[in-house]
Structure 1
Amino acid sequence: IFSVKVYVKLNHNSPPILCLTNHLRNIELIDPIFQWYGPGGSLSSENSSVEIAPTGTLILKHFNLSGAYNCSIVYKLTAMQLHKKHIIKYLIYAYSDPKIYYEFTVQYHAAPCNSSQNASFRKALLQLLSKLVARLPCEVKLIKSECHNVKMQRGGIQNEIFFTFSVAPLDRGKHKCQQRACTASHRLSKAKHLIKRFFKRQVKVRGTCSEPLPDIYYIDGTLKIVSVDRCYPGYGINAAVHPDCPECC
C-alpha cells in the first residue's frame, strides 16, 4: 500500500490527518471504528500530544517523532453486511528550517602583526558591525581573525588582517509579526546591504581624505559574501527523497 508523505515542522502541531480515503469520504459508513498506530505503538487521545476526532482525524501536537503512522478503519456499508477493514499508511516527517546566515570575509591593511593595535581594531570593528544590524535584529559573530605578512605583486611586504565573520537573524521573541519586513530572510538581506554599504563608505571617505593613510584600513575589493544554509545536527536536506519539501531539513 502506498504511503502518503506528510511534513510537520518540528515542535509544531500537524495539520489534520485523515483516516479516510477520498472514496470513503464520499459514502456513508456504518459503525466506523478508527485506530491509529505510530512508531511507538497504538495512539490515543489520552496522550496529551495526540488528538483524535470521532471521525478519525488525527492531529499530532508538538510533533518530534518521524516515522510510519498507520490508520485502521473498520466499517460496514450496510447494516446487514460483514465488517470491512481498510488501512491507510502515512510517513510523517518532522522538519526544521535551515539555519541561514551570511559569511563575510574581508582584508585590512594592518599594523605589525604583534601590535596591540590590531586587537583593539578588531574589537572596535565588531562593535561597529554589531551596532549596525542590532535593530533588525541580527547578530554578528567573529569566526576568524588572522594577521599575515603578504608579499605584494611587484612590491614589498605588508601586514594584512584577514577577517571572517557571520551575520545571522535573531529570534524576534515577543516582537513577532507577520509582515514581510519581519521575516528572517528579509532582515538578513537588509543586514547584508548595510554591511556592504559600510565598507563602500570606507573606500569613499578615504578617497576624499588628503591625510596620510592610517596603519589599519580596509583594502578595497576584498569583501566577499557567501550565503550559508545549514541544518541542525541530525537533520539534512535531500530534495530527491523529499521533492515536496526540497529545502526542508
Structure 2
Amino acid sequence: MGSEGNSGALQSLRGNVLLRFIPLCSLGFAIVTGGLESAGRGLCPVRGIRGEAGSEGGGRGSRPGGVCGRVGMWCRGRERHAGSSRALCGPALLLVLVFQGLPSVYSSIHQDPNGLKVVGSTNLPVKVYVRLNHNSPRILCVTNRLRNLEMIDPIFQWHGPGGHLVTENSSVKITPTGTLLFRNFKHEMSGVYTCSLVFKPTTEQEGKSYLMKYIIYAFSDPSFYYEFTVRYHSTSCNNIHNISFGKNLLRGLSKLVSELTCEVSLRKSECHHVKMQRGGMQNEIFFTFTVSSLDAEKSKSACQNTLCDVSRRLRKAKDLIEHYFSQQVEVIGKRKGLLPETYYIEGTLQLVWVKHCLPGYGINALLHPDCPNCCGR
C-alpha cells in the first residue's frame, strides 16, 4: 500500500487518544479500538506500512512506536512462539481493524456552559445541545488532535443555516482562534454548522484544510407538576355554596404547600349526577387541581439547600395533600349526627405526575436519544 493511499484511508494515532489492543490469537487479528482523530498519516511501520516516524518499510533506522511498536512486539512474540516468521503475522494474515467512535455528544444540561468546550471531528458530525435562552458551550474549530499542534497563518470560517457567520453580533461571537459562542440561544438558531480550518504546519509546507460539522439543538427543561382529582358529595348541583366551597378548598390547599415554594391551582370544577352501584342517585363535585413549583421570579424568597430541588418539594407537597384528605376521612368517620352538605368522598383522590414542555417542544427519546428527557423540537 502506498503512502498516499495510507494517508487518505487511515487515521493518525497521535494525540491524547486512549488505545486498547485486543489480540485475537485464534483469528490472527490485532484489533485497535479508540476515539481517533482525522489526519493524513499511516498506521504502522510493520511489513512495509508507513509509520508515525514517516519512514517506509520498517527497515533499519526506523523506530516503530505507539501502535506500531505494540503490534510489532506482539507479532514478533507470536513468531518466536510459533517458530515461524509468518505464523499469524504474515502480510496475508495480519489485519488491523480501526473502529471509529459514534458521533460525539455535548450538552449543557448538567454543566456550566461557560466552562464546557466542544471539539470537532472531521469524520462524523458532533451533536451539541444548548439550553434555550442560555449561552452555549465554547465550540472550537479544531479536533482533539489539532488542539495540540502549532498552526501558522490559521484561517477559521464558520457557516450556519443562514450562511456565513460574522465575527460578532448580538447573538454570536467568534474569537480570533475560531471559537464559536452563542448568547441567549433561541430555537431558530438550531441547525447544522460547519467550520473550515486552513493552516500551514511549517512555513515550508503547503497549507492543510479541515472541515468540521456540528449539529446544534435547542432544548428546554420540562416543567413538572402533580395533577390530582377529588370528588365531594353535595346536596345539589345548583347549590350556590358549591362555588364558595371550591374557593375555600383551594385556599386551604395552597396554604398547606406554601412553605415548600409550591402553589395549587384549580383547573376545573364540575358537578354531576351519579348513579351509585346498587343504589340511588347522588350529586358529586369533581375537582381537578394542579400542584406545581413556583418559579424563582414568582417566589418571594429564594429556596435553600435541598428544598430547591423541584422533584423533592413536589413529593413533599404530594405527601401533605394525601395526608390532608386522609384526615378528612377520619373527621367524617368520627362525626356524630348529620353529615355536612359537602364532604370528601373516601377513596376518590387520584394523583398523576406530569411532565410539561413549552409549546412547540416535546420529549422524544427516539428523535433525541442523546437527550431523552429534554424538551426538544
TM interval, shorter chain, is: over 0.9
- Find the counterpart in structure 2 of residue 28 from structure 1: 150
1:156-195 Cα deviation digits (max 9, x unpaired): 2111111111111111227446733112222222221211
Q: Which residue, 233, 237, 243 being the options, matches 2:359? A: 233
1:220 and 2:346 equivalent? yes
SS state of the match for residue 17, structure 1? strand
- Find the counterpart in structure 1 of residue 160 from structure 2: 38
Q: Which residue, 104, 109, 119 being the options, matches 2:228? A: 104
Distance change >3 Å, CA 104–CA 6, structure 1 → 2: same
Residues 111 and 216 of structure 1 are in contact (CA less than 8 Å); yes or no, is this contact kept in structure 2? yes
Distance 1:187 1:211 in 2: 39
> TM-score if structure 1 supplies the norm length?
0.93
- Find the counterpart in structure 2 of residue 15 from structure 1: 137
Q: Which residue, 148, 151, 170 being the options, matches 1:48? A: 170
Report deviation, 1:41: 2.2
Residues 75 and 85 of structure 1 are in contact (CA less than 8 Å); yes or no, is this contact kept in structure 2? yes
Distance change >3 Å, CA 88–CA 169, structure 1 → 2: same
Mean Cα displacement is larger for which, 149-158 or 216-225?
149-158
- Find the counterpart in structure 1 of residue 208 from structure 2: 84
Residues 10 and 96 of structure 1 are in contact (CA less than 8 Å); yes or no, is this contact kept in structure 2? yes
Structure ranking higher on relative contact order (CA contacts 8 Å, 6+ apart):
1
Residues 144 and 165 of structure 1 are in contact (CA less than 8 Å); yes or no, is this contact kept in structure 2? yes
Distance 2:317 2:324 in 1: 10
Mean Cα displacement is larger for which, 181-190 or 213-222?
181-190
Distance 1:217 1:7 in 2: 50
Letter in 2 for 1:143: R
- Find the counterpart in structure 1 of residue 267 from structure 2: 143
Q: Which residue, 235, 244, 255 being the options, matches 1:120? A: 244
Distance change >3 Å, CA 92–CA 178, structure 1 → 2: farther
Distance 1:105 1:37 in 2: 52
Q: Which residue, 301, 319, 336 being the options, matches 1:210? A: 336
Distance 1:179 1:45 in 2: 41
Distance 1:59 1:176 in 2: 30
1:21-58 Cα deviation digits (max 9, x unpaired): 11211222222111222222222343132222332222
Report deviation, 1:197: 1.2
Distance change >3 Å, CA 178–CA 30, structure 1 → 2: farther
SS state of the match for residue 119, structure 1? helix
Report deviation, 1:77: 1.1
Residues 231 and 237 of structure 1 are in contact (CA less than 8 Å); yes or no, is this contact kept in structure 2? yes
SS state of the match for residue 32, structure 1? strand
Residues 111 and 118 of structure 1 are in contact (CA less than 8 Å); yes or no, is this contact kept in structure 2? no
Distance 1:240 1:26 in 2: 36
Unpaired stretches in structure 2, ≥5 consecutive residues: 1-122
Distance 2:221 2:372 in 1: 11
Distance 1:211 1:157 in 2: 22
Distance 2:303 2:209 in 1: 46
Distance 1:18 1:110 in 2: 66
Percent identity among equivalent residues?
61
Q: Tell me the C-alpha RMSD between the 2 structures.
A: 1.7
Distance 2:301 2:191 in 1: 35
Largest Rg, 1 or 2: 2
1:96-153 Cα deviation digits (max 9, x unpaired): 0112111101111112111112112111111111222223222222222111111111
Query: How many residues of Structure 1 are paired with residues of Structure 2 in the alignment?
Result: 249
Higher strand share: 1
SS state of the match for residue 235, structure 2? coil
Report deviation, 1:63: 0.7
